[in-house]
Amino acid sequence: MTMPALSAPKTERVYELRSYESPTEQYHVNKVQMFNDGDEIGIFRQLGFNAVFYGAVLSGSRMPNLMYMTTFNNKADRDAHWKSFSADPAWKKLQAMPGYAHNVSKSEITFLRPTDYSDI
């Protein structure tokens, strides 16, 4: 665990919860490999995405599913991070690899705010 490098007051911060559903278990394993072996997590780390967690959904109707959460100073900071991610050469190379094609059938983004008692 690493504390996020955030400078904004908690009232301005934003959490971003992302869900990546895959059409089959095999595609889900492929997406997880993209995060780990393909080093998508490394790209997030290099660009300062302040990861809260990365994980696989273990039960429920929306499986197989990779979920992760990042946090940012504010919405503008979040937008700037995603812009830099989209333009990152390592991401462009990873995204273009045929072996990682079609591994997400549905994605969903949920924005959350910290509470008064949140640590980060």
CA 95 from centroid of its chain's CA atoms? 14
Count of domains in the chain?
Answer: 1
pLDDT higher than threshold 80 for residue 79? yes
- What's the CATH number where 97 sits? 3.30.70.100
CB contact at 8 A, 71 and 4: yes
- Kindly report whether the peptide bond that precedes residue 114 is cis, defined as omega within 30 degrees of 0: no
Does 10 reside within a domain? Answer: no
**In terms of Cα–Cα distance, which of 12, 31, 11, 13 is closest to 21?**
31
pLDDT digits (tens, 9 = 90+) for 20-35: 999 999 999 999 999 9
> Given this model, what pLDDT does residue 116 score?
78
For residue 45, give its domain range: 16-65+73-112
Does 35 reside within a domain? Answer: yes
